[in-house]
Chains A and B, each alone.
Chain A
């Protein structure tokens, strides 16, 4: 009897500890982001206050209004940066996914000599740190006259994304049974038709998430963009964020607001793909 109740107590205690642990973990994960959102809505005086003001006294969207009302008022041309980011990310994503689909299909459906070393080779090109790659690219782009252009950055981002899209898409094509395409071919489809009418629709959601992943990589990239762009005509949002830092002061509120603007598309897109992303990464890699 005594043993029973102490076991029950112990179990309840473990449950409480577990809840607290989970709560603390989630708090650590979410707090920094929430703090940014909160700071973007508070007046600068409150952010700077000493002793700190914990409970916001007034909430306003001034920072956002200022940001989108042009250079004169907000200080930095956010709209242009946003447009650049969007053009560059979307274009390079489309190209990278087209190339990745071809490559991923080759890895998933064909046997060829040196397959795993080709795969490793592709991955190795991705390991080159952005900043190391930026040195020769900077030099070449200056020579070719494509520095500080959309085209230059798009080209770099396609190369950045291709290895990873191939990895992901390879995984998604593996999940589609081979027999389906073969059955379609027996029924008279060409391999090309079988691909577009059978395999592509089945792998579709996966390919979409590979696309979103590629988009996010471009959207968030900083090391290359910071060296290969200089002016309003090609700077992307991550580089634009630095405009808020003057030599000695930082406009924290403006920066927080821009951070929120950057994070919202990323947040939405990641929610959409999370399930497929994990599936693609693991199935490609575990089943060999």
Chain B
């Protein structure tokens, strides 16, 4: 190839590197440093006092933090698993449709267009105990007489948040899994049927292995923005009632901006960053594994 320079990819990637270094990497190093200080917004001089890992030690014994941590992991586990299952179900429903598949596909993408903050607001509206659609419907149908305090009682609030989160993100799974189903060759399924597989066996041993990498792409994309739950929670309950729906991210925001304890908040933020990275790396590896499996089989 004429005009090929060994440094071409480097030059092409340089702008991306510069921007990311300036806006992500350097600020993160700064926040790493400040997580070792007792920095408070109201007292700038504390920025230069290094107290070592005392912030991290106090996080270790901070029960609020660990509750938020556990709740975040729980929410992600519930949400991601249900999104995957529902997305798979939805994709198979739509794939089966003989007519109007285009319209169905478009409808299916509908929740993706809502920004998380709108999702939060819309479900806050629907789950409102007094005027919300959910309670109104339940009361009109005579299922319950009382107004159910969806966003006020802590367990119900958690459920409401999970529903909002699942509603907004199932579409990503459904779309990518549907892409996988549509790209799949039909012969192996027919062969399996001829060989006497039950529908379940056909699904389990033929369809699923093929669709899996697509599901992992969806997982990877989702893990890139798991923190969008922050917007939803911020709007729906703002961590309430009494901190019972506090997630890592809302806790970080509260510590930093309401309490002004930047050093502590940065230490917490690092834990949440590590959590996100762990999710991404895990799914990225799964993706790579699924990809090689596909390469071997098809």
Q: Mark A residues whose CB is within 8 Å of B.
A: 18, 21-22, 25-26, 28-30, 32-33, 35-36, 39, 47-48, 50-52, 54, 98-100, 102-103, 105-107, 110, 112, 118, 120, 122-140, 155-156, 158-159, 162-164, 166, 182, 185, 190-191, 216, 219-223, 227, 238, 241, 252, 255-256, 259, 262-263, 266-267, 270-271, 274, 278-279, 281-282, 285-286, 288
- CB of B133 within 8 Å of the partner chain: yes
- CB-CB nearest in chain A for B8: A110
- CB B114 to nearest CB in A, in angstroms, measures 7
A128 and B28 form a contact (CB under 8 A): yes
Residues of B within 8 A of A133 (CB): 24, 27-28
Q: Which residues of B contact A (CB under 8 A)?
A: 1-4, 8-10, 12-13, 15-16, 19-20, 22-25, 27-28, 30-31, 34, 89-90, 93-94, 96-97, 104-118, 121-123, 125-126, 130-131, 133, 136, 139-140, 167, 171, 175-176, 179-180, 183, 213-214, 217, 220-221, 223-227, 230-231, 234, 249, 252-253, 256-257, 262, 265-266, 269-270, 272-273, 276-277, 279-281, 284, 287, 291, 294-295
CB < 8 Å A-B pair total? 252
Is B227 a contact of A223 with CB atoms below 8 Å? yes
Q: Which residues of A contact B31 (CB under 8 A)?
A: 132, 135-136
Please, which residues of chain A bring their CB within 8 A of the CB of B279? 127
Q: What 15 additional pairs, Cβ within 8 angstroms, besides A127-B273, A227-B253? A: A28-B167, A52-B140, A102-B16, A127-B277, A129-B227, A131-B253, A135-B256, A136-B34, A136-B266, A139-B30, A140-B30, A191-B2, A263-B113, A271-B106, A286-B214
Contact B34 A139 (CB under 8 A): yes
Query: Contacts A30-B107, A259-B121 known; A282 to B176 CB distance under 8 Å?
Result: yes
- One of B108, B227, B256 near A29 (C-beta < 8 A): B108
Task: State whether B117 touches A32 (Cβ < 8 A).
Answer: no
Q: Is the Cβ of B231 less than 8 Å from the Cβ of A223? A: yes
Q: Which residues of A contact B249 (CB under 8 A)?
A: 129, 131-132, 223
Q: Known interface pairs A25-B90, A133-B27, A285-B217. Does A48 touch B131 (Cβ–Cβ under 8 Å)?
A: yes
Chain A contacts for B94, CB-based, 8 A: 22
By Cβ-Cβ distance, the 6 closest A-B pairs, closest first, are A220-B115, A129-B227, A159-B23, A136-B27, A132-B269, A106-B12
Contact across chains for A263 and B118 when beta carbons are under 8 A apart = yes
B283 CB, nearest partner CB in chain A, Å: 10
Q: Which residues of A contact B111 (CB under 8 A)?
A: 29
Closest chain-A Cβ to B15's Cβ sits at a distance in Å of 5
Which residues on the B side are within 8 Å of A162 (C-beta)? 16, 19-20
Contacting B93 at CB < 8 Å: which of A25, A54, A125, A285? A25
